[in-house]
Amino acid sequence: MTVDAFDPAREIVTLTPAAMAHFKREIEKKGDVSAVRLSIRESGCTGYKYVVDLVAEATGNDLHVPLDNGVELLIDAGSLSVVKGVNIDYVLEGVNRELRFNNPNVKDMCGCGESFSVN
């Protein structure tokens, strides 16, 4: 399913300009992929973990969200209830770079930041 440019579903997951630029660079570097796929899986002591994959094509019922920089974001349909409202940022702190997920649904995070639970 593709999301129209004016569809409010585009707001399911948002990305900062830094995150969009990061994904565009990674896709161009890899060469054999065309999209970023966001999903979750059960993990850690708290419940869930974000999974970000660079992929060549969508699977199953992925939601297709075209980003302003030409990158396509795919969101796993089974993960929608957990990732709805998430904002993805790419931050640089000292020499470390990481994706940061700001999720209004998160109720608890484990001590190491690896996993989370939702409301």
Q: For residue range 77-98, what is the model confidence (pLDDT) as tens digits? A: 998 888 888 999 999 988 899 9
Cite the beta strand spans of 6-85 per DSSP E.
Answer: 13-15, 35-43, 47-55, 63-66, 72-75
Q: Choose which CATH entry (1.10.287.130, 2.60.300.12, 3.30.310.40, 1.10.10.60) describes domain 8-109.
A: 2.60.300.12
* Cβ atoms within 10 Å, residue 97: 11
Give yes or no for a contact between 77 and 63, defined as CB atoms under 8 angstroms apart. yes
Tens of pLDDT, residues 2-15? 555 545 455 689 99
Q: Is the pTM of this model over 0.95?
A: no
Where do the domains of the chain lie?
Answer: 8-109
> For residue 34, what are its two tokens?
């065309």
